[in-house]
Structure 1
Amino acid sequence: MSALPDVGVTSWELSSRQVLVDGELQPARLRIEDGRIVSLAVGGEEAGSGEEAPPAAVVRVPDGVVVLPGVVDSHVHVNEPGRTQWEGFATATRAAALGGVTTIVDMPLNSIPPTTTVEALRVKQAAALAAGLSCDVAFWGGAVPGNTAELEPLWDAGVSGFKCFLADSGVPEFGHLDGALLREALGEIARFGGLMVVHAEDPAVLAAAPHPSSRAYGDFVLSRPDEAETSAIAGLIDAVRDTGARAHVLHLSSARALDLVAKAKDEGLPVTAETCHHYLTLAAEDIPDASPQFKCCPPIRDRGNRDALWEGLEAGILDLVVSDHSPATATEKLRGDGDLQQAWGGISGLQVGFTALAAEARRRGIGLDRVSRWVSAAPAALAGLAGKGRIAVGHDADLVLYDPAATTPVRAEDLAHRNPISAYDGLVLEGAVVGTVLRGTRDTRGGARGRLLERTHV
């Protein structure tokens, strides 16, 4: 591949035999000016701004390498400030860029303070800028007991929506919403046209499930049963029906909840849902006991459940796929010496999630066009980020160059996120990200050129 232009070059072209445009891989030539795509020639037909200035460089992508929109990961826990030893903006965004992710949307916890007020949002934004960013970053606000009056100011400040928990979040500064508080928050969000994104597990079901101290992964799964998700999602759908608010189900792991989401959509309710790379690529039967790197809530379930999630994704019941990147220190992750009830829950998948998902999709005969929709266009739309998630004139020149013929050996100690713990450690994945372009800049892998984003449409 001819070299990508140096930092500071604002006018250049990219030519490739395989560019994902309008849902189809096809030969295309992109012209990039000041970080945006200003013209796009596909099959001899050009759409663009009409500007005639010659580009400074032409990059010809080798045959076999595919050019896709940069990945938009709308579910990332950066944790800075307050728990920066778990993860920070510099390390998280560098990991993102290495994995083809050009935009992340940061969750309102586990930072201190959590992003539940405009003042806290400004603290987090200042921390992000001070750390340096290798990709663009948008933010979710939080909905917790007592902050209903803060929701509209946060929305006006540009957050993508509001995260809430229906069960214990795991951190004391981010309380969960019971049924009455959920309806209160949804009613307020419906009033100004916002969006609630929901960690949907029923605390009563969780409390009734067995929680023995155990190193067995099967015992951990029994402590987070399918019913916890189905019960919580059913209650959320009832609340959406009553309030008219838009709601999005986060990290759906139980395929038994798919019918609930499908029926809500058939009813015309404004409900969407996501699942995660790890639920689609890993399976409970393959997880060794006493391996907390695989612990997450809700849990990774069995192979049959995984297959059903893929079916739900292909059927459009599930709308998008994200990492739910939620790292912790080794002390927290390994707490309990293999007792999975004591270990911190969370999967560190920001850098390798897209590659793992693309490899599994390929094994199942699913093309990169569909994968890209699930990891780029759909998350950008959910988070209200116009100009992201597609290769189109007027959009940011955010690109990932992906080689299906290469391989990605995963070694936790080589990953860029702060703590070298990963559920993907030791895997050799088919396919590799071989280049990332952020707003026309040649390579975000070691740079600090990301920007803070605000929601740009509802």
Structure 2
Amino acid sequence: MVHQMIHDLAITNGLAILENGGKHIDIAVDNGVITQLGRQFNARKVIDATGLIVSPGMVDAHVHLTGIGGGLRDNFEGYQTGTSAGAKGGVTTLIEMPMNQLPATINGRTLLQKYNAGQNNLKVDVASLGGIVPGNLNGEIQEMNCQGVCGYFIATCGHRCMKADFTNSDDHTLLEAMKQVKKTGKVLTIHAENEAITQMLAERSEASGQLSMADFVASRPVFAEVEEIRRVLSMAKETGCRISITHVSSIEGVDEITKAKADGIDVTCEVCVHYLYFSKEEADRIGPLLKCAPPIREKRQQTGLWQRLRDGKIDYVASDHSTCPPRLKAVKNVFQAWGGVAGLQNNVDIMFDEAVQKRKMTLKQFARLVASNPADRFGLSKKGRISVGKDADFVLIKPNTSYILKADQLEYRNKISPYVGRSIGAKITQTILRGRTVYSEQGGVTTAFQGQFVKKFNQNHHNWTFKQLCDKRDTIFGQSKQ
């Protein structure tokens, strides 16, 4: 007599998004991993997904949390609230940026400090980017590599003067960083805008009393983004460094990256949900809640981004989630407002509604944009797909179900978002992280902290102490400590 295996969990009767598209198939899970795809599994727990889309959990590759507030940003988004918002929004893995927290994550010691701050405070999984700033090219990149970052981030624009905050880089730092990051094999993500241009235009606008959202958008023109993208791409071609251009906001920027790919440059293009959803024409009405850099652009740009998304020229979508206390947005001078859009909780439902339901994007392409492509790009090998051997990370989506987002539904520490008051035509009913429910429509967000830091190692550096790391870093990549 053959005894059928009893699995830990089975998800049944849903339309699962597999590698080749949507299929009505059951999913078996054991020890947090997908073990079988098929029909009629015996399981200790069964989730009936009738009428629901079963998508791989989102991998949001661009999230700003402030788990270490440094006394000055303690009221910004933290690990508990940020990962709760991810759980409620169907984001099962988020990649955390190295800026906003104080101190910024720019070496092995500050990375370990962040890991310690997040321990037992995560409701979804978190991978980390290491920050690159002027002055940390003397082994710090190697330290963070050995401690498991999945990539790096550098900014070549903006204005920072606060002690221990993230510092923007010049072209020499960028070039040298590319040479070192190439040796790690990981990806360097880049905020590409020309600081000299944007800073000058912003100062002129403020001096003349032009302080609206439309004035802010005008101070960060498309050519400032495109010019920086071109220079970054030329450096990537010279060094062979793998790069990703973050939050591309213009069709011209996407087109430059598309041409570079054809030229053999290893580059990917990220676009944020808010560029696909909002336009400059409504920016003044919404106000500083929409302030971000690069800025929200004209409806023509939004239309063009959607076309390039459908054509496969954009590799993945992300939130660039960055919240702050409401007082930092409630200012008349937009140039003095905190820059960042609160969007982590509404990536999946809005993208499903706008892309799949309204614009007829295939389920296969949807899952690639929100899950498999970012997982692949950052080497998160257990994430991003519904296939045997992958982590059992799922988001269950109820299609064609409209709701109006209210502020009290937000899990953020600060209940502000430009999406509040908007009607969203799909709903997240359940989020599952490694086989365990972290959010359900009936029970809300779990009180348990089941998330983990996802670390990517490409050498035999696992579980090194910080002292071992410092002792070894000079020989690992032939990098000197000058």
Question: What TM-score, normalized by structure 1, do the two folds share?
Answer: 0.92
Q: Distance in 1 between matches of 2:131 and 2:55?
A: 32
Aligned to 2:255: 259
What is the CA-CA distance between 1:379 and the residue it aligns to? 1.2
C-alpha separation between the residues in 1 aligned to 2:325 and 2:363?
Answer: 34
**Paired residue for 1:352, among 346, 352, 356?**
346
Aligned to 1:450: 451
| CA shift for structure 1 position 12 | 1.8
Tell me, yes or no, if structure 1 residue 139 matches structure 2 residue 128. Answer: yes
**Cα distance change, pair 373–163 in 1 and its aligned pair in 2 (3 A):** same
In the TM superposition, residue 84 of structure 1 has moved relative to its aligned partner by 3.2
User: Which residue of structure 2 lines up, in the alignment, with residue 74 of structure 1?
Assistant: 61
Question: Letter of the aligned partner of 1:159 in structure 2?
Answer: V
Separation in 1, partners of 2:287, 2:408: 16
1:249 equivalent to 2:245? Answer yes
Contact (CA 8 Å) 2:406, 2:421: kept in 1 or not?
yes
CA distance in 1, matches of 2:353, 2:286: 27
Write the letter of the residue equivalent to 1:160. Answer: C
2:5 equivalent to 1:15: no
Residue of structure 2 equivalent to 1:190? 182
Q: Percent identity?
A: 34
1:3 aligned partner: none
Provide the rounded CA distance (Å) in 1 between the counterparts of 2:326 and 2:14: 44
- Aligned amino acid, residue 184 of structure 1: E
Q: Deviations over 1:152-181 (max 9, x none)?
A: 121121101111001125463211111111
1:295-337 Cα distance to aligned partner (Å, 9 max, x none): 1111110111011111222222210000000111112222xx3
C-alpha separation between the residues in 1 aligned to 2:385 and 2:161? 36
Count of matched residue positions in the alignment of Structure 1 and Structure 2: 437
> What's 1:425 paired with?
420
What is the distance in 2 between the residues matched to 1:162 and 1:343? 27
Contact 2:214 2:283 survives alignment (8 Å): no
SS of equivalent to 1:341: helix
Quick check: 2:283–2:296 contact (8 Å CA) kept in 1? no
Q: CA RMSD in A?
A: 1.9
What do residues 388-408 of structure 1 show as CA deviations (whole Å, max 9, x unaligned)? 010000111100000112123
Q: 2:362 and 2:321 mapped to 1: Cα distance?
A: 24
Q: How does 1:202-217 map to 2 (within 5 A)?
A: 202-209=194-201, 210-212=204-206, 213-217=209-213
Q: Aligned with 2:26: secondary structure?
A: strand
Match of 1:325 among 317, 321, 324: 321
Partners of 2:8 and 2:14 lie apart in 1 by 21
Contact (CA 8 Å) 2:251, 2:304: kept in 1 or not?
Answer: yes
Query: What's the offset of the Cα at 1:358?
Result: 1.6
Q: Secondary structure at the match of 2:268?
A: strand
1:21-420 equivalent positions in 2, closer than 5 A: 21-41=18-38, 54-62=42-50, 64-82=51-69, 83-130=73-120, 132-148=121-137, 149-168=139-158, 170=160, 172=162, 173-209=165-201, 210-212=204-206, 213-289=209-285, 291-334=287-330, 337-361=331-355, 362-420=357-415
Q: How far apart are 1:216 and its partner, in Å?
A: 2.5
Question: Contact (CA 8 Å) 1:413, 1:421: kept in 2 or not?
Answer: no
Amino acid across the alignment from 1:93: T
State the Cα distance separating 1:290 from its structure 2 match: 6.8
3-state DSSP of counterpart to 1:55: strand
Q: Which residue does the alignment assign to 1:4?
A: none
Does the Cα contact within 8 Å between 1:290 and 1:339 map onto a contact in 2?
no
Task: Please say if residues 404 and 430 of structure 1, whose CA atoms lie closer than 8 Å, have aligned partners that are also in contact.
Answer: yes
In the alignment, the residues of structure 1 paired with residue 159 and residue 430 of structure 2 have an alpha-carbon distance, to the nearest angstrom, of 36
- Contact kept, 8 Å, 2:396 with 2:430, in 1: the verdict is yes
In 1, Cα distance between equivalents of 2:57 and 2:115: 22
Distance in 2, matches of 1:414 and 1:114, equals: 30
- Supply the distance in 1 between the matched residues of 2:415 and 2:184 (Cα, whole angstroms): 42
Kept after mapping to 1: 8 A contact 2:205/2:211: no
Give the CA deviation at 1:76.
0.4
Counterpart Cα distance in 1 of 2:90 and 2:7: 21
Q: What do residues 277-307 of structure 1 show as CA deviations (whole Å, max 9, x unaligned)?
A: 0001111112234711111111110111011
Corresponding residue for 1:49? none
Question: Are the equivalent residues in 2 in contact too, given 1:138–1:453 (CA < 8 A)?
Answer: yes
* Secondary structure of 1:351 counterpart: helix
